[in-house]
Structure 1
């Protein structure tokens, strides 16, 4: 029994010494993180929007000043103040521009949020739009 204990202790000491003798000069390789995507949300601002007007919403998506034409998902979430949002699909128009046309059903203050997923990143800028009766 005593031999077994001595053998196990010797083996553990040997393994600890072996694990401590690793390659010297642990080199740190710096990893470059990709530039984040940028989304410019374009909605009518300062413009009178009436109920049932057809309004174009745009999201221009870039990364390192280059247009992204291969976004995984681009949608607009439109919600009337205090209510649950409605998602609207977009179409790609070229030069990083994703668009949708929407008619606001009732007057009020709406929050328009673009949800953009591209190149492993997500961005969701928002703007407010005021809609009035005609």
Structure 2
């Protein structure tokens, strides 16, 4: 009789634990994925850039073909090949355009990376700029 009671109690505890682990199969949580931001980096590519030139760097930020005017952070990282980068803050000009003006100090090939953080996303497109002496 004692074995029967122990077996019955064990079975009841097992069934209670098993029923507590079940999940409602009709429950469904749908997450809405936001569309990615798009950053178009505009730097002088075709025209010759010299050390004396003031160059405008632009990042045009959109999401689903709409301009983003509320980016959390927009900077341009500028580095000469083989050296550490320098970050320049951008200012908002309107219609999704963030700009900064920069004068390259010496000739060489520079890498320009725009760091854009907006609406919980980060984008880092990059381009090269070749700078020559006058």
Q: TM-score range by the shorter chain?
A: 0.7 to 0.9
> What's the RMSD between the two structures over aligned residues?
2.3
Offset from partner CA, 1:82-117 (integer Å, 9 cap, x none): 000000011100000000000000000000000000
Q: What are structure 1's unaligned runs of at least 5 residues?
A: none
Aligned residues: 133
Q: What residue number does 1:76 align with?
A: 76
Q: What residue number does 1:111 align with?
A: 111
Paired residue secondary structure (1:104): coil
**TM-score, length basis structure 1:** 0.88
Q: What residue number does 1:16 align with?
A: 17
User: Aligned partners of 2:119 and 2:7: how far apart in 1?
Assistant: 57
Q: What are structure 2's unaligned runs of at least 5 residues?
A: none
Give 1:1-80 correspondences, 5 Å limit: 9-10=10-11, 12-19=13-20, 22-23=23-24, 25-80=25-80
Structure 1 residue 46: Cα displacement: 1.1
**TM-score, length basis structure 2:** 0.88
User: Aligned partners of 2:69 and 2:7: how far apart in 1?
Assistant: 67
